[in-house]
Amino acid sequence: MAWDDGYIAVDWGTTNRRAYLIDAGGECVREFEDGKGVLSVPKDGFHSAVGEIKAHLGDRPLLLAGMVGSNRGWAEAPYVPCPGGLRELADGIVWVEEGAGIVPGMSYVGNGRADVMRGEEVQVLGAVAAGLIPPDCTVCHPGTHNKWVSLRDGGIQHFRSVMTGELFNLLKQHSILSDLLSQDALEGEAFDAGVRTGLTSDDLQSELFAVRARVLLGEAQRADAASYTSGLLIGSDVRIGLKEAGEGPVIVMARPELTRLYAAAIRAAGRGATELDGERVFLAGMARIKELV
Amino acid sequence: MAWDDGYIAVDWGTTNRRAYLIDAGGECVREFEDGKGVLSVPKDGFHSAVGEIKAHLGDRPLLLAGMVGSNRGWAEAPYVPCPGGLRELADGIVWVEEGAGIVPGMSYVGNGRADVMRGEEVQVLGAVAAGLIPPDCTVCHPGTHNKWVSLRDGGIQHFRSVMTGELFNLLKQHSILSDLLSQDALEGEAFDAGVRTGLTSDDLQSELFAVRARVLLGEAQRADAASYTSGLLIGSDVRIGLKEAGEGPVIVMARPELTRLYAAAIRAAGRGATELDGERVFLAGMARIKELV
């Protein structure tokens, strides 16, 4: 199948997938998105799940990235160890069938730590390839599991995951704080107060319980609890991430509603922050990987 | 109704309840326990829920403690502020009907913090009343929300809640770590390693994600993940609690399977720990409150 006639790039995550038809000139001409994340596809159902994408976007070769390459996905694409860049990702592609390649994720082992990511690396390295961020910088990539990524010479040197989004969702859906967290988290005074606590306190397990106690004792407003808790978790996340961040502004890359909150917390910590839309740079990364194959 | 002919003491928590028939001589002669915690009783259903207890233990006056006195319980018994002891708890009893009194919980506001507890205070102060712990000491009371309680002159000076048990359950039941945490957490090398990390790291949100990464990358055994994670959360809890703990051994008061793990973590931090069964001292506290009414 001729890649130069155009291809489909797929960002296939745990809970949803986004597919983009790229034409021969490298332009994205059509998109398709649905909630069919990796967890909702049976192990032997990926060929037909890909058929749905082709039904929407045409019968083109596919380049897939994200959790589709995990042990819960179509086929496991072994992690590329740090340090590495787009060249190493391209070399690590696993071809599951003709005209369908899975881009691997990346791993880090060092300093007594171990970490993994799948999907964010394409966006981060794509942003460098597109000239949108410098080859040496720190990227903060919020989501279910926020990633703090250290770039050097255009490659990923090391990174750290922080479980912030998932923790917030667990607390919101299943915890003693559920009824307090049903509202949307918004920027403002309560969020800022949470950020200040998160940036300075290393007692997260205790501060979380205090959210409820403060409301019960009239020391905080019930309506502020979701914004305060979001600020607390994001502030704590930023406290962790900035410990290893180099100089210069931190690039915050994700959906705009998330980058705004993280950028506010990073600025509250006295650092500069530049926001970038993650979707845009995903396609830049995939285009470069396609050239390198 | 004559209290001196005996009474029923009830420890009524969020998810279960334990009732004890105390005879005229102060001895516990019969017990009753079931899963009818406060959350499973409708607001107007407490009178009949108490009828079930009386059907098992006899028609005696009742002294109730725990979440039954919260805004989700039978009637709200306003928190007694710190510092306070059994005298203040007895003075704060709310009589919901003839021969049925609810012992209040305690609150703390100070140092920019706010905290609440319901139920643990009876056990802690009961242990002092029974002469089982000194009037000046630090008590660690593990459970869904661990309480670090500072006693002075036999009263509770201040306390701090840490959301450890609930966080572990959320991660076990609903998170990306669920499949790794299905086994029981046990003492041993993996637990000790988790404790060491929790005692020294203030990056809990990051260490939790690393549990999965370490297994995926072969840096840790899948079978060790539950014990390691339990140690990580308990070690982090102990790191927080010991910051405010006075000298002398910490009294660890709860069910024996929990006190064992916390005592191990406290000893790993270089402090002494003495274990005490929480149920036994609950009755000592209730007996003293009954005398003070």
Name the pLDDT band for B57 (thresholds 50, 70, 90): very high
Residue B93 CA to residue B235 CA, distance in Å, equals 36
**What mean pLDDT comes out for the span A39-50?**
94
Mutate to test the interface with A, among B209, B234, B237 (most CBs of A within 10 A): B209
Name the pLDDT band for B4 (thresholds 50, 70, 90): confident
Asked whether the beta carbons of A84 and A155 are under 8 A apart, the reply is yes
The single-letter DSSP state of residue B173 is H
Q: What is the pLDDT at residue A1?
A: 62
Mutate to test the interface with B, among A72, A162, A206 (most CBs of B within 10 A): A206
A213 with B175: Cβ contact below 8 A: no
User: pLDDT digits over B10-45, tens only?
Assistant: 999 988 999 999 999 999 999 999 999 998 999 999
On average, the pLDDT of chain A sits at 96
The single-letter DSSP state of residue A66 is E
Q: What is the pLDDT at residue B279?
A: 82
A161 with B202: Cβ contact below 8 A: no
User: pLDDT digits over A71-113, tens only?
Assistant: 999 999 999 999 999 999 999 999 999 999 999 999 999 988 9
B161 with A114: Cβ contact below 8 A: no
Model confidence at A40: pLDDT above 70: yes
Q: Which chain A residues contact residue B230 at CB under 8 A?
A: none
DSSP helix/strand/coil, B242: helix
Q: What is the pLDDT at residue A84?
A: 98
Name the pLDDT band for B98 (thresholds 50, 70, 90): very high
Q: What is the pLDDT at residue B30?
A: 97
B206 with A240: Cβ contact below 8 A: yes
**What mean pLDDT comes out for the span A35-61?**
95
User: pLDDT digits over A144-188, tens only?
Assistant: 999 999 999 999 999 999 999 999 999 999 999 999 999 999 999
User: pLDDT digits over A177-221, tens only?
Assistant: 999 999 999 999 999 999 999 999 999 999 999 999 999 999 999
Nearest-CA residue of chain B relative to A207?
A: B162
Question: Which of A176, A210, A212 lies nearest to residue B113, judging by beta carbons?
Answer: A210
Model confidence at B1: pLDDT above 70: no
Portion of chain B with pLDDT greater than 90, in percent: 92
On average, the pLDDT of chain B sits at 96
Residues recorded for chain B: 293
Q: What is the ipTM of this complex?
A: 0.94
Nearest-CA residue of chain A relative to B209?
A: A163
Bridge partner list, B150: B138, B158
CA dihedral for B36, B39, B41, B46, sign (positive or negative) = positive
B205 with A113: Cβ contact below 8 A: no
Question: Which of B114, B202, B233 lies nearest to residue A219, judging by beta carbons?
Answer: B114
Name the pLDDT band for B90 (thresholds 50, 70, 90): very high
CA dihedral for A142, A147, A150, A155, sign (positive or negative) = negative
Q: What is the pLDDT at residue A178?
A: 96
Q: What is the pLDDT at residue B203?
A: 95
A109 with B219: Cβ contact below 8 A: yes
Q: Which chain A residues contact residue B216 at CB under 8 A?
A: 71, 79, 107, 116
Name the pLDDT band for A2 (thresholds 50, 70, 90): confident
Q: Provide the shortest C-alpha distance from residue A161 to chain B (in Å).
A: 6
User: pLDDT digits over B102-140, tens only?
Assistant: 999 999 999 889 999 999 999 999 999 999 999 999 999
Residue B264 CA to residue A59 CA, distance in Å, equals 61
The residues, any chain, with a CB within 8 Å of residue A27's CB and separated by 6 or more, are: none
Please tell me which residue, B104 or B256, carries the higher pLDDT value: B104
Bridge partner list, B101: B63, B95
Which residues of A have a CB under 8 Å from any CB of B? 71, 79, 107, 109, 113-116, 144-145, 160-164, 166-167, 170-171, 173-176, 202-206, 208-210, 212-214, 216-217, 219-220, 233, 236-237, 240
User: pLDDT digits over B151-181, tens only?
Assistant: 999 999 999 999 999 999 999 999 999 999 9
Domains of chain B, start order: 3-118 (3.30.420.300), 162-277 (3.30.420.310)
Question: Which of B107, B163, B237 lies nearest to residue A208, judging by beta carbons?
Answer: B163
Q: What is the pLDDT at residue B163?
A: 97
